[in-house]
């Protein structure tokens, strides 16, 4: 009910402003306080004042009502869009009152648009992209996302255990979305650093939206001495990894590579995890325990 009364108040205030403006204009014309040739300019000025006043009231009310629902930044962005629409209506009405012809208005607007567009190309692209993000909602405030753009390819990394990895890393940034406005999307990275990304980048990015119920593949490698029989190690590792509470389904365990004294065991497991590193840590500990048990069993038999 309070929102309804607020909108009724805005409508009433708008009608009062229009009525006062019309009365002032009529009195100035009736008392001949302004030359007849300037009447159109008076009406045009009154039109601009009325439209701007109504635009300010409506945008402020929309911002205050939406701030509690979508956040202050998003509410401010919507209010800014309403202001742009209102100001455009004010300019169009002003040109109509002063009898500017349509071709002249289009020529002037086209030239001004060209100049402004060239001068603020990046700014306008961010604003348009921000509007697309606000309306399409590919992600929301509070979502944990990883984003990467199509300009970047995959990276083939090299990391321990000293063998060239067959994995591919996706170059991207991961963090919690803290704010979305017309110019930037702000995320708080896993390192705790706020990162501002231009919306023109985000609108063309590939975005992974993580959730608490996410299941992701975690790949792990572990170097095992060749003195241990792989026919004993692989089943033991598979059993130990499967018993982890974070693992879903059957893990895939195989030998990936060898050296003169070791072989590399690779484990692919689907895990209930948002972050990959904690899940990999648990899997490595399970592998270490399984390998030690196989080693102890082999030594006992020897």
- pLDDT (tens place) for every residue of the chain, 302 residues total: 455 555 556 566 666 666 666 666 666 555 565 555 566 777 777 777 888 888 888 888 777 777 776 666 667 767 777 777 777 777 777 777 766 665 655 565 565 555 555 555 676 777 778 778 877 888 888 888 888 876 655 555 555 544 444 555 667 788 889 888 778 888 998 788 898 888 888 888 888 888 767 788 888 999 999 989 999 999 999 999 999 999 998 999 999 888 889 999 999 999 988 778 888 999 999 999 999 999 988 888 76
DSSP for 117-165, written as a single string: HHHTHHHHHHHHHHHHHHHH-SS-TT-EEEEEETT---B--EETTTEE-
Residue finishing a domain among 187, 210, 233: 210
pLDDT at residue 253 in the model: 93
Lookup: tokens for 183: 């110019």
First to last CA, the chain: 84
Per the confidence metrics, is the pTM higher than 0.75?
no
Give the pLDDT confidence of 12-69 residue by residue, as tens digits. Answer: 666 666 666 666 666 655 556 555 556 677 777 777 788 888 888 888 877 777 777 6
Closest CA to 137 of 170, 145, 190, 123: 145
> Residue 182 sits in a domain of what CATH number?
2.30.30
68 in any annotated domain: yes
221 in any annotated domain: yes
129 in any annotated domain: no
Q: Are residues 168 and 83 in the same domain?
A: no
Total domains in the fold of the chain? 3
pLDDT at residue 100 in the model: 63
> Residue 240 sits in a domain of what CATH number?
3.30.70.100
* Cβ(241)–Cβ(251) below 8 Å: yes
Closest CA to 175 of 134, 147, 213: 147
Q: Are residues 89 and 147 in the same domain?
A: no
Phi, psi (rounded to 5 degrees) for 300? -70, -40
Q: Are residues 200 and 219 in the same domain?
A: no
Residue finishing a domain among 210, 242, 260: 210
Q: Are residues 202 and 271 in the same domain?
A: no
* Cβ(205)–Cβ(214) below 8 Å: no
> If 0-12 CB within 10 Å is exposed, 13-18 middle and 19+ buried, where does residue 182 land?
buried
pLDDT at residue 24 in the model: 64
49 in any annotated domain: yes
pLDDT at residue 17 in the model: 64
Tell whether the torsion through CA atoms of 228, 229, 232 and 234 is positive or negative. Answer: positive
Q: Using CA atoms in the order 170, 175, 180, 182, what is the torsion angle rounded to 10 degrees? A: -40
Q: Are residues 219 and 206 in the same domain?
A: no
Distance CA 77, CA 72 (A): 9
Distance CA 170, CA 206 (A): 11
Q: Are residues 221 and 185 in the same domain?
A: no
Residue 262 lies in domain = 215-301
pLDDT at residue 247 in the model: 92
130 in any annotated domain: no
Q: Are residues 164 and 114 in the same domain?
A: no
Place of tokens 């792989």: 230
127 in any annotated domain: no
pLDDT at residue 157 in the model: 54
> If 0-12 CB within 10 Å is exposed, 13-18 middle and 19+ buried, where does residue 48 land?
middle
165 in any annotated domain: yes
Q: Are residues 7 and 79 in the same domain?
A: yes
Residue finishing a domain among 210, 225, 257: 210
Q: Are residues 50 and 101 in the same domain?
A: yes
92 in any annotated domain: yes
Q: Are residues 23 and 103 in the same domain?
A: yes
């Amino acid at each position: 009910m309070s929102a309804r009364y607020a909108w009724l108040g805005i409508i009433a205030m708008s009608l009062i402003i229009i009525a006062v403006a019309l009365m002032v204009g009529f009195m100035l014309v009736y008392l001949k306080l302004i030359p007849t040739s300037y009447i159109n300019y008076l009406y045009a000025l009154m039109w601009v004042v009325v439209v701007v006043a109504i635009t300010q009231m409506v945008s402020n009310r929309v911002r205050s009502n939406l701030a509690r629902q979508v956040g202050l930044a998003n509410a401010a962005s919507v209010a800014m869009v309403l202001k742009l629409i209102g100001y455009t209506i004010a300019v169009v009405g002003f040109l109509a009152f002063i009898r500017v012809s349509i071709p002249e208005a289009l020529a002037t607007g086209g030239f001004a648009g060209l100049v402004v567009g060239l001068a603020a190309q990046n700014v306008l692209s961010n604003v348009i992209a921000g509007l697309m993000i606000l309306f399409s909602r590919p992600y929301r405030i509070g979502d944990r996302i990883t984003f990467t753009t199509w300009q970047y390819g995959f990276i083939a990394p090299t990391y321990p255990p000293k063998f060239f990895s067959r994995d591919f890393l996706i170059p991207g940034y991961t963090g919690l979305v803290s704010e979305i406005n017309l110019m930037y999307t702000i995320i708080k990275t896993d390192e705790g650093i706020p990162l501002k990304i231009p919306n023109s980048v985000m609108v063309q990015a590939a975005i992974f939206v993580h959730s608490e119920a996410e299941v992701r593949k975690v790949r792990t490698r572990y170097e095992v001495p060749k003195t241990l029989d792989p026919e004993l190690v692989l089943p033991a590792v598979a059993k130990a990894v499967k018993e982890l509470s974070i693992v879903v389904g059957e893990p895939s365990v195989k030998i990936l590579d060898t050296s003169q004294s070791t072989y590399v065991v690779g484990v692919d497991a689907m895990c209930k995890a948002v972050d990959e590193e904690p899940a990999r840590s648990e899997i490595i500990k399970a592998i270490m325990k399984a390998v030690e048990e196989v080693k102890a069993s082999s030594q006992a038999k020897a």
